[in-house]
Chains A and B, each alone.
Chain A
Amino acid sequence: RKEVEQDPGPFNVPEGATVAFNCTYSNSASQSFFWYRQDCRKEPKLLMSVYSSGNEDGRFTAQLNRASQYISLLIRDSKLSDSATYLCVVTPFSGGYNKLIFGAGTRLAVHP
């Protein structure tokens, strides 16, 4: 079983749409959770951290369900500039200084 699994997409949505991405992870001891964004042939960039209480940053909302080992990202009012690959990322241990384990990513294409 893959350590971090994501639907590869692509998700093709019109501007203004709401889109949701899901992710599951296999290691129940995983400690920290993130969504990164990666543009084509660029480096991953942190979009947001994910907490059990859920967190929101503008149009983006992330949720974590530890019991189901499930992470989600909701994007509201999609913009053309949201087109990218969204990477679900976990770390196996507490403390922020350890390796990141990436999912293969979900590709989003927002069209006019």
Chain B
Amino acid sequence: EPEVTQTPSHQVTQMGQEVILRCVPISNHLYFYWYRQILGQKVEFLVSFYNNEISEKSEIFDDQFSVERPDGSNFTLKIRSTKLEDSAMYFCASTTPPGETQYFGPGTRLLVL
């Protein structure tokens, strides 16, 4: 069964550093998403991406964040100048019409020290 993959599974970084989280969505999917989940809290939407541009972003997704689909398979989330409060699990998801199901990757656990 096709699946969404994410790398790395864990990332530890120093406050102020830049991190890039990588995702490989399911190959025939066209819509891509990033969500985050701070420990003990709910899953929160960050951004959706379609046709090589952002289709929607949340208030959390400020200028510190950016997304990119650098090639036909990868979808990346870049966090510039990380803060302590960026520590969370980051999930990538993808879907394709006409289906409604968003398939989630296993997540990247980011710890900012």
Main secondary structure of the interface of B (DSSP, over half): strand
Interface-lining segment among B65-73, B78-86, B104-112:
B104-112
A17 CB within 8 Å of chain B: no
B33 CB within 8 Å of chain A: yes
The residues of A that contact B50 with a CB separation of less than 8 Å are 97
**How far, in angstroms, from A43 to B33 measured CA to CA in the complex?**
13
State which of A49, A87, A91, A97 has its C-beta within 8 Å of the C-beta of B43.
Answer: A87
State which of A32, A46, A95, A99 has its C-beta within 8 Å of the C-beta of B56.
Answer: A99
Cβ of A96 and Cβ of B100 under 8 Å apart? Answer: yes
The residues of A that contact B93 with a CB separation of less than 8 Å are 100
Cβ of A103 and Cβ of B42 under 8 Å apart? Answer: yes
Q: What is the size, in residues, of chain A's interface with B at 8 Å between Cβ atoms?
A: 22
A98 CB within 8 Å of chain B: yes
Q: Beyond A43-B91, A44-B91, is A99–B101 a contact (Cβ under 8 Å)? A: no
A88 CB, nearest partner CB in chain B, Å: 10
B87 CB within 8 Å of chain A: no
B41 CB within 8 Å of chain A: yes
Q: Beyond A44-B91, A99-B33, is A105–B42 a contact (Cβ under 8 Å)? A: yes
Between-chain CB contacts (< 8 Å), 13 pairs: A32-B100, A38-B43, A42-B106, A43-B107, A44-B104, A96-B97, A96-B99, A96-B100, A96-B102, A97-B50, A99-B58, A100-B43, A103-B42
The 6 nearest A-B residue pairs measured at CB = A96-B100, A43-B104, A99-B45, A102-B43, A104-B42, A97-B31
Residues of A participating in the B interface, judged by any CB pair closer than 8 Å: 32, 38, 41-46, 49, 87, 91, 95-105
